[in-house]
Structure 1
């Protein structure tokens, strides 16, 4: 015997298993299924409820096709923000991390002047590769110093490439914290720079460069993108409305 609520529950489980739709999107589809079933049953009372239900399910389509349609129609406001974060992150590798202001240059050795000049992360990576050819242990330590601060943003790459899985909530908090702390440290350097003494009585003050501001700001933009994405994944109403309607 045809049981409407049982069939709806079976249909919902099939969609959840065979698609990447969020709970909120499945809820919307279920509401559409119920409204369509009532309409078709009222318009063609001579047809059996089971036949009407099967017809409505066929009209909605398979789970995979539903995922593609929702992906096309969904308003993904978070995606441009995440793209902006990655654009800032990539650009920062080709801009100076700091700028040096000489307080007392003296007779500075040319090698020291080159060392204190604007250095980009790209140039630093070249030095890291060169060092790795001669000292593997030092290269590992330097590599960890480069990778670990950037790891939270690198973990958003699957989302940028179109993954439909929910993001870890802790990742949003980590990115948000870095997006606040890193610019704060930069502002501290701006208003209270620490002098760096060099040989031959040379003293310099180093301030954050354009690369640092873009790099630190990219974490804040990535956190905002994941927050917007998390809101779109949040289910409105009960998680299992079928069970509640059946009670």
Structure 2
């Protein structure tokens, strides 16, 4: 395969053309379906086409545009590379690659680091189980004790500067103080809300480490959103596989009178759950160059199914009546539905070719967003009526706040998607909106943790 030194340089080496090719190369490299070696080969083809076109009399800009056009749709190019290099793509599924990329650690060393961090997270959870005697205190502190190990993997992987790490220790310490110093009422609403929202704040801190401190940049934020979806899929698969393995082991040992349930509660689960998160993160990182990641593929499957479900739900809600008698569970359920729709939209956006023209799937996503907003409007109206009649509570305010954030996020996304379908807005505007709004959820979660206790009397 041609190397960097063999590329055909256009006559004159014009700076503008080089800038355009660099931008094209950066875009292609962000497309996970194409490996760095393949990008080199594609750039060789592109430069060769540009050289041929400039020889016919075209200027650099014209030659570049025509050459890129003739390269074809990026997805089609990806499939062509997949056909030509199927044996290489198969090898990418192996845990240990043949040759580590330049500047990266050997695979065995990274695996050793991952396993050490996974064991460390398990030890931390085991210590928490021994140190904290109530469920509420344990629920608040387990995420605090395990998040540093996941963040530590990315500190090592990304070579994050100690300045960034030190800056993140401040909000981490404040969060730990709030969760353990506030005089919460045992099993009260505010302590449960704090325990539920604290992992969101911790995940935002992990995200800053994941992007190497470049938290203001758009592309790294979208990469972290994509990573989150992939991690959920991998951890779910690990949980299913581990559950089957433990079930078979328990059934086999029970035949000889051995009960492993005490060991499972005391040792296996405390190490397996946090360890699965760390190992799952490593698997996501290791598989970034495989032809297609899992989460975007699942969105293609579940987007039409979710759309049908929402339309059916809308018809049922409009015909049912009496929604004002439903407790806060209705609003929580609507939040879950909006979160599902948001995830489907977000991961579809992260995997889409931003230069491609609007297609049928973009239209289907707009229908999905519109259906979700319609369903939520019905439920939200009923819930606001109930709040006006019976007053606020910590749970209602927390659910209502998240609901409003999701409404704003999806409503704006729908408008931008409509503008894109009508070819009045670029697809990049929709991408920017997703990445800019995501930190708002972390801010809201931090507000719930810090403010809800004092406001509602820690009840």
**Length-normalised TM-score, structure 1:** 0.36
Larger relative CO (CA 8 A, sep 6+): 1 or 2? 1
**Length-normalised TM-score, structure 2:** 0.22
User: Is the radius of gyration larger for structure 1 or structure 2?
Assistant: 1
Comparing both structures, which one devotes a greater share of its residues to helix?
2
